[in-house]
Structure 1
Amino acid sequence: MTGGKEDNNTELASSLSQFPKKCKGEKHVSFPPDEEIVSGFAEHKDVLRDVDSITLVDVISAYKKSCLKHHVEPTSKILEQLQEVTDMQSRARCLDLRGERLDYHACESLEDILKLVQFDFISLRETQLEENGASSLLDMFLYYESAAHLDISSNTNLGISGWQALSRLVQRSSCLWRLDACDMAIPEYPAQALSKALLGSSLAVLCLENSGLSGRPLFTLVNTLKENTSLQELYLANNNLNSFQDAMQLGDLLKYNRCLKSLDMSNNQISDSGLEEICEGLGAGKTRLRNLVLWNNQITYRSMVHLAKILPRVNTLETLNLGRNNLQNGGIQLLKESLIANRSILRLGLVHTRVGCEGAVTLAEFIAESRRIQRLDMRRNPVRTAGLMALWLALKINQSLIRLDLDTTPKEEKEEFLIETQKNLLQEICDRCVRNASAAKERNLQPASPGKGSQRLPPLPLGMEQGQIDGAAWGASRCANSHST
């Protein structure tokens, strides 16, 4: 037995001796040929943008080489815009890629531009971005701090990675102050990612028009914005926001947020019951809202009682746009005393609100009493001779109103001389507004700025010449390609 065991051990030792011994922890490393060791390297973004040595020729040459490397054709639209760059030491005005198809390789080819040039505004609207390309490009924007204003609207295939990259950009960028992400659905997960990013973001303007936010996505967004301390302008037009949960959420936003200055809810379904929720939030006393746009929200004269209750207490609101709602003369009568008592409103929008001569007379009483109102928009209303006469008489007293927008074409009258009277009154009203504007300049009392968005207000002239411009376009800044009115 013993001899047999020894023979077996000898055979086992002999068989093991055929394999090389391995020390504990021994590793094997193989190296490729020298020319293959380094395939690329990451350059520091500050070194890459050495503006003292970079020329426009360098930028264009780098872009063309990058296109060659990624097997894409240089885009003439990009080359034309690069030719317009005049100062390499500051941000270029714009990189507009709207309508250009950007697949993954096209996105990668842009990096050599982004290394060398930063922009005030980059438009990626309708560029058919896909998940991988979007993720890569947005990470470049973050690394190189490429854009102060980014429009990524109308890209419906960002995917999870694309939305994650966009959220990282919003959260970490030190230069991005405005984001437009319109005309593409933002379901629950992207809403969660974007909302989380907004907690630590320095973003000041967020435009989410026609993004399907009604319901859970809006709830997620509002819960974050209650604690946000940087966002000043929020645009939520065309989101099918309803008069129940959605209006309640927006009322809570106004109740708890102290930094939001502009809120645009145009073309939704807030209605009378929803306006009550909005007014409750406004009346809580914490909001610093300056611009409120409620254009085309199925609001009627019945809910003006809620607005009338809070207007005397709201001392920051400068723009109130109620255009394209069925206010009628009765709604104006309900608002009159509150408008007189209010000491902050500078701009009041009443386009297409079915206000007739009786309502115009009521507004004339407000104008005569007000020392603050600067613009009143009453276009697309059936205001005839009697209403115009009242407004003209009020302007003989008022010294603050510098814009009174009325239809330039006289309304039908039974007597021909009344049509001529309307024409004369329209001209007199225009002249009075111009006179008030000149007097204000002489007194160094320029019209108060509507806030950070003022540079994006349409440059409308004084008086009556702007009649062709829609009433929804003022009171707050608009997203590129603003929604239908």
Structure 2
Amino acid sequence: NNLKFIEFYATVKDTELKEIINSQNCCSTIDVSCQKLDDSNMATVIKYGINEKKCKSLNLWGNRFTYKSITILTNVLGGNTTLRELDLSHNLLTDQGVEIISHFLSLNTCAIKDLDLSGNDITDDGAQYLANMLTKNQTLKFLSLNKNLITDYGLSLLVKAVKNSNNKLTVLKLESNPDITPNGVEHAINELKENKILQDIYFKHCKLDDSDKKN
């Protein structure tokens, strides 16, 4: 049923997008960043990039995808063992899209290791969804949440999940979240001192005294 859905919506108006995808190598990175794509284009990306090209990395940053595209994407990614890197940064996902992808990743039915959700107006609500996901997910190693609206509270939720319930994540990026303060960073670093799995946590350009701070 999902394949029929994709076939139906991957219409002739996406001919140029199809050509862009088909010009790229199979089983590698499909890059359709900054193409002014929106929800009407997601089916074409899935059909030619994921189903036919079997890409290992999918770069969708700088487009106009919303939570509706995440619904379509997660409906077809269950059981996919090829896609390892997914860049959804600088789209229009908001917390609504984060809730959908967090629920999907909690099911452990795909192989995504690297997820970039930077620049999607994610608040502490989104951080809560992601924290819940991190207590269940068994594949994710890199999570980027730069340039969002996460505060010290959202940071504490993520840190708690990583500290107590996650043994996979190695890198967490929270750069340019303007409401993360020195107190929040200090708490996070103290909480994660004994963590042997997480290698780096980044806070560059948050509300800090130093220009760069990482664990």
TM bucket (normalised to shorter chain) is 0.7 to 0.9
Among residues 197, 202, 206, which one is paired with 1:436 in the alignment? 197
CA apart distance, 1:249: 4.0
Among residues 74, 92, 97, which one is paired with 1:331 in the alignment? 97
**What are the Cα deviations for residues 304-347 of structure 1, in whole angstroms up to 9, with x where unaligned?**
11111112132111110000001000011122222223331110
Distance in 1 (alpha carbons) for counterparts of 2:60 and 2:191: 27
Q: Counterpart amino acid of 1:383? A: I
After superposition, residues 200-211 of structure 1 pair within 5 angstroms as none
After superposition, residues 85-234 of structure 1 pair within 5 angstroms as none
Distance in 2 (alpha carbons) for counterparts of 1:423 and 1:272: 36
CA contact (8 A) 2:77 2:110 kept: no
After superposition, residues 49-448 of structure 1 pair within 5 angstroms as 244-249=14-19, 253=22, 259-281=26-48, 284=51, 286-341=52-107, 342-396=109-163, 397-407=165-175, 411=179, 419=181, 421-428=183-190, 431=193, 435-437=196-198
Three-state SS of the structure 2 residue aligned to 1:313 is coil
Which residue of 2 is the match for residue 138 of structure 1? none
What percent of counterpart residues are identical?
21
Task: Output the TM-score relative to the length of structure 2.
Answer: 0.77
Cα RMSD, aligned residues only: 2.7
Distance 1:306 1:249, change over 3 A: farther
CA apart distance, 1:355: 0.7
CA contact (8 A) 1:294 1:321 kept: yes
Task: Output the TM-score relative to the length of structure 1.
Answer: 0.36
CA contact (8 A) 1:266 1:295 kept: yes
Three-state SS of the structure 2 residue aligned to 1:244 is helix
Distance in 1 (alpha carbons) for counterparts of 2:125 and 2:18: 34
CA contact (8 A) 1:282 1:310 kept: no
Distance in 2 (alpha carbons) for counterparts of 1:424 and 1:337: 29
Distance in 2 (alpha carbons) for counterparts of 1:410 and 1:431: 24
Distance 1:357 1:437, change over 3 A: closer
Three-state SS of the structure 1 residue aligned to 2:54 is coil
- The structure having more radius of gyration, on CA atoms, is 1
CA apart distance, 1:294: 0.7
Q: Counterpart amino acid of 1:464? A: Y
Give structure 1 stretches of 5+ with no counterpart: 1-242, 413-418, 439-461, 469-485
Distance in 1 (alpha carbons) for counterparts of 2:82 and 2:71: 20
Paired residues in the alignment total 191
Which residue of 1 is the match for residue 202 of structure 2? 464
Distance 1:363 1:428, change over 3 A: farther
Give structure 2 stretches of 5+ with no counterpart: 1-12, 206-215
CA contact (8 A) 1:375 1:402 kept: yes
**What are the Cα deviations for residues 134-175 of structure 1, in whole angstroms up to 9, with x where unaligned?**
xxxxxxxxxxxxxxxxxxxxxxxxxxxxxxxxxxxxxxxxxx
Distance 1:357 1:409, change over 3 A: closer
Distance 1:250 1:276, change over 3 A: farther
CA apart distance, 1:275: 1.4
CA apart distance, 1:437: 4.8
Where in structure 1 do 4 or more consecutive aligned residues deviate above 6 Å? Answer: none
Which residue of 1 is the match for residue 10 of structure 2? none
Distance in 1 (alpha carbons) for counterparts of 2:142 and 2:67: 22
Larger RCO, structures 1/2 (Cα 8 Å, 6+ apart): 2
Distance in 2 (alpha carbons) for counterparts of 1:428 and 1:246: 51
Three-state SS of the structure 2 residue aligned to 1:292 is strand
Distance 1:381 1:297, change over 3 A: same
Distance in 2 (alpha carbons) for counterparts of 1:423 and 1:322: 25
Q: Counterpart amino acid of 1:336? A: S
Distance 1:425 1:317, change over 3 A: farther
